[in-house]
Structure 1
Amino acid sequence: MNINFYSLGAAEEVTGSKHVLEIDGKSYLIDCGAFQGSRAEADRKNRNFGIAADRIDSAILTHGHFDHCGLFPLLAKQGYKGNIYATPATRDIASLIMMDSANIQARDAEYLRKQAHKKGEKFEWTPLYEEKDAIQATSQMVGVSYNRPMLIGDGIDLEFYDAGHILGSAMAYITVKKDGREVRILASGDLGRKEKPIIRDPDRPPAPDYIILESTYGDRLHENADNAMERLAEIAKRTVAAKGKILIPAFAIERTQELVYYFHMLVDEGIIPEIPIYVDSPMATNATTIFQIHPECYSEEIKDAFIKHHKNPFGFNSLHFTTSVQESKDLNDMKGPLIIISADGMCEAGRIQHHLIHNIGDPNTTVLCVGYMAQNTLGRRIRNKEGEVKIHGQWFQRRAAVEEINAFSAHADYSEAISWLKSLDCSRLKRIFMVHGEPKAQAAFKQHLASAGFSDVDVVKYGNTYELK
């Protein structure tokens, strides 16, 4: 039995997760995510897979975020015909994400073509894929519930355990049994956190031999959730006093639903007044519907609210979902106070860019960053409080306030990740392979792991192959 592991994305970087297990010459892909960064770099990386589609025997999707599922339509377009294994909730979310991406690319192509025409420039860029490719990728997804082993190859079992990251997120536990040997590989996907609202805590799978571990926040500790709620309330009160706006770039999946839940709590408890909240993302609206049809993923508190008491934790009187482009445009003419939650979470695409164009120069606006912003993204530049930012090819002065609350992150910080590792049976553990993190975070995380007794750790490098014995 010969097992090798290598990475085609999210090696010493965040976003673009694509990892390969090669077992006796057959390749099994874990995630096929899109890289997010500057437009030119992202386009270059996303068009170059590093592996031919016909070499992949089957694929696994850990969860529905764009940086983990976003290139499955391109893989299907390039001829991949095999199965894509995912939990039922992940299949539904990924379908939404991939279709939305195809639509955004089509709209971007049309917009950029018009801009080039105005300037008399040649325009040759084409979208990575179209709606039909997203539909094809969805048709290849096989729903596998948590804790239900599935044979995905000769002597190869896959079992999903809840990762506690977003709805449907999973750790992929792969058991290879051949020639009288057994090798157990645990791919964490994106590891979540305990006691988050809506979804369950991360599971504790059986003893692994190898762990492929994400490291996004390997150098950071998250804020206390209670303190974060206080800060959220303070920002809301300040906005009401200034009759301003809060712009929240948020991923349509999980973060948007959590923020609605938190604002609901603050209003319910009389801590803040009712402020009109607009979820300006058709995908977020559809995602909220997906949440309602997957109670198998809920924490006991949410399950109790939905099923026993029929209360909707995601909706209240001051909450509005926009449904049309015109409704989205109308938000920019509205007077505050109001809150706009809009995708994309890194500000690289979608309606949030248009809201920033209209409001980033207003000192009564607050841009609230509540999630990870990758290097070279518009979101990172705003989070870094740069005085001038470029949006749609134009420069804008940033006069808006910028706030960051990282307690709402769906990623475990280094302390939470180590606590989870210590909760596992590590009697068989031979090595940890660190992926999905920037070099600074990974260097710090490796030191934290060593201090906790986990010294056999490799920071996975793009192009390197690692043998699993």
Structure 2
Amino acid sequence: MISISHHGATKGVTGSCHELTLGSGARKSGILIDCGLFQGQDEGRGASASDLSIDFPIDHIRALVVTHVHIDHVGRIPYLLAAGFDGPIICSEPSAIMLPEILEDALKIGFTRDRQLIDRVLGLIRSRLVPVPYGQWHSVFDEEGQSLAVRLQRAGHILGSAYVECDARVGDSEERIVFSGDLGAPHAPLLPAPESPERADRLVIESTYGDKDHEDRETRRYRLKAVLEHALADGGTVLVPAFSIGRTQELLYEIESLIHEFADSPVAGAATDTHGRSRTNNKGSDPSFTWESLEIVVDSPLAAEFTRIYRDLKPFWDAEASEVVSQGRHPLSFEQLTVINSHEDHLNAVEYLARSHRPCVVLAGSGMCAGGRVVNYLKAMLGEKRNDVLFVGYQAAGTPGRDILNYGPRGGWVELDGERYDIRARVHQVGGYSAHAGQSDLLRFVQGIPQAPKEIRVVHGDQEAKAALLAKLEGLLPESQTLIPTFAARGTKSQR
């Protein structure tokens, strides 16, 4: 008996946690694929960011396999350890470097401020890490007629991201089961695109953007340029709620390429909107600003730390990024880039940018505006038309980011720390920087498997996105059983 159950990411896009189990009864053994935090209003067992419980049996769990280090995939790991899990944590080599960093921040925010306790937890996590190179099989167990080996393949989502191939055997029954984790969009900066697995008898696939495609890279780069031109022409701030890993680094890469390409070119007296249409500047605009005048601020210590790690792990970059480096450019450490670390400097930057007319792009955590330094910028800047808010990642239901995205273009308001703030700043979303594959990319990944999977489970998406991807898969692969699994009841297998 080889079974799959789900302990998250069945009713929304967060809380990823899937279980692969071999055997039954006293001979049951299994692994977890991810153990992530719930965010926003993802449903399930009333799931939310405060739902940290490990309410399923773990005595038989032999290992945890981490697809990547985003918090919605790893945020419950400290609670898994507290619940008694004592197995290895298998991940890619870059993820092994980054995982303690992301969990240190999560522990400080949601677990404890006790430095000694944090150090003990992080020390325990480091002692359990088993870094595995891409493309190399790793045996989890092989005993008494049962065996399980895993292999990580590049997923192209963030640095270190992987999809997981599992070779499972119980007696004479063998299966290869693939868990996609989060897949990246092709042609994204910095990372190679994912390639389809050579085999998948069963596939568990994400569907964050299962109902839509992203803009191509040229289009999104043009839209990014237009948003930045607005800041240059109007003396405003472009505020980017920053996800610390992945999107921040890709955005810096693209901004550096724009500065490199246009350099001392002046911005025209009339800025353009995100569709390229000319419009009149606000009073006080200064068309003498050039691209080299544009200051980029990373106001997120965690994002700054992961940007440093990205720089240190250049061997995992794609060919395009490596070529840029060979030209003597520094796409993640360029002249116009300023990093803010201290809280005092952060508050000073908010005050200065709110009253000045110096064009600036600020990347500040957190990505869904549910906390972090970005909230202070939003409070100070949402009320002015010269400013822009640029979303480059998914905004979960119930988060301030989703409200700004929904109500901002209609002149609405958002609640931040219990107070209402009117939204007069322009609001944009450039979806291509989401780091997630779009619908066509997901379909190509599945169709690229030489023999169609017998079963495809669609997870990690809003209901509409899952349903749209499911319908496409049913039409393209009628021989495959396709389903949207439900949340596993305590200690039981998920049902359709």
Question: Fold-level match, TM-score > 0.5?
Answer: yes
Residue in 2 aligned with 1:445? 469
For residues 391-430 of structure 1, the aligned pairs below 5 Å read 391-427=416-452, 429-430=453-454
1:431 maps to 2:432:
no
Residue in 1 aligned with 2:278? none
Q: Is the 8 A contact 1:176 1:182 kept in 2?
A: yes
Query: Partner letter of residue 431 of structure 1?
Result: E
1:140 maps to 2:132:
no
Residue in 2 aligned with 1:18? 17
Q: Is the 8 A contact 1:5 1:467 kept in 2?
A: no
Q: Could you give the per-residue CA deviations for residues 180-216 of structure 1, whole angstroms, max 9, x where no partner exists?
A: 3321000000011211110111023221100010011
Mean Cα displacement is larger for which, 179-188 or 59-68?
179-188
Residue in 2 aligned with 1:367? 389
Residue in 2 aligned with 1:315? 333
Separation in structure 1 between the aligned mates of residue 449 and residue 328 of structure 2, nearest angstrom: 36
1:158 maps to 2:150:
yes
Q: Could you give the per-residue CA deviations for residues 28-87 of structure 1, whole angstroms, max 9, x where no partner exists?
A: 1110000111599524422x2221443422110000111001111121122221101000
1:92 maps to 2:84:
no
Q: Is the 8 A contact 2:2 2:170 kept in 1?
A: no
Q: 1:75 aligns with which of 76, 80, 91?
A: 80
Q: Is the 8 A contact 2:188 2:217 kept in 1?
A: no
Query: Partner letter of residue 383 of structure 2?
Result: G
TM-score (norm 1): 0.90
Unaligned runs of 5+ in 2: 268-290
Query: Partner letter of residue 51 of structure 2?
Result: K
Task: Report the CA distance between 1:356 and its aligned residue.
Answer: 1.2
**Paired-residue identity, %:** 31
1:186 maps to 2:173:
no
Query: Partner letter of residue 290 of structure 1?
Result: I
Separation in structure 1 between the aligned mates of residue 216 and residue 253 of structure 2, nearest angstrom: 17
Q: Is the 8 A contact 1:194 1:201 kept in 2?
A: yes
Q: Could you give the per-residue CA deviations for residues 190-243 of structure 1, whole angstroms, max 9, x where no partner exists?
A: 011211110111023221100010011111111122111111111111112221
Separation in structure 2 between the aligned mates of residue 55 and residue 445 of structure 1, nearest angstrom: 33
Separation in structure 2 between the aligned mates of residue 348 and residue 77 of structure 1, nearest angstrom: 26
Segments ≥4 residues shifted beyond 4 Å: 38-41
Residue in 1 aligned with 2:195? 203
Residue in 1 aligned with 2:303? 284
Query: Partner letter of residue 483 of structure 2?
Result: D
- SS in structure 2 at match of 1:333: helix
Q: 1:371 to 1:57 in 2, by over 3 A?
A: same
Choose 1 or 2 for highest CA Rg. 2
Q: Is the 8 A contact 1:164 1:203 kept in 2?
A: no
- SS in structure 2 at match of 1:157: strand
Q: 1:247 to 1:131 in 2, by over 3 A?
A: farther
Separation in structure 2 between the aligned mates of residue 436 and residue 350 of structure 1, nearest angstrom: 24
Residue in 2 aligned with 1:51? 56
Q: Is the 8 A contact 2:487 2:494 kept in 1?
A: no
Residue in 1 aligned with 2:403? 381
Query: Partner letter of residue 332 of structure 2?
Result: F
TM-score (norm 2): 0.85
Separation in structure 2 between the aligned mates of residue 349 and residue 133 of structure 1, nearest angstrom: 24
Separation in structure 2 between the aligned mates of residue 253 and residue 213 of structure 1, nearest angstrom: 21
Q: Could you give the per-residue CA deviations for residues 99-155 of structure 1, whole angstroms, max 9, x where no partner exists?
A: 11122336xx89xxxxxxxxxxxxxxx9xx955434422331210110111001221
Separation in structure 1 between the aligned mates of residue 312 and residue 233 of structure 2, nearest angstrom: 39
Q: Paired residues, what number?
A: 446
Unaligned runs of 5+ in 1: 111-125
- SS in structure 2 at match of 1:344: coil
Q: 2:350 aligns with which of 304, 307, 332?
A: 332
Separation in structure 2 between the aligned mates of residue 437 and residue 38 of structure 1, nearest angstrom: 13
1:32 maps to 2:28:
no
Q: 1:74 to 1:466 in 2, by over 3 A?
A: closer
Task: Report the CA distance between 1:344 and its aligned residue.
Answer: 1.2
Aligned Cα RMSD in Å? 2.3
- SS in structure 2 at match of 1:79: coil
Q: 1:408 to 1:438 in 2, by over 3 A?
A: same
Q: 1:43 to 1:419 in 2, by over 3 A?
A: closer
Task: Report the CA distance between 1:372 and its aligned residue.
Answer: 0.4
Residue in 2 aligned with 1:122? none
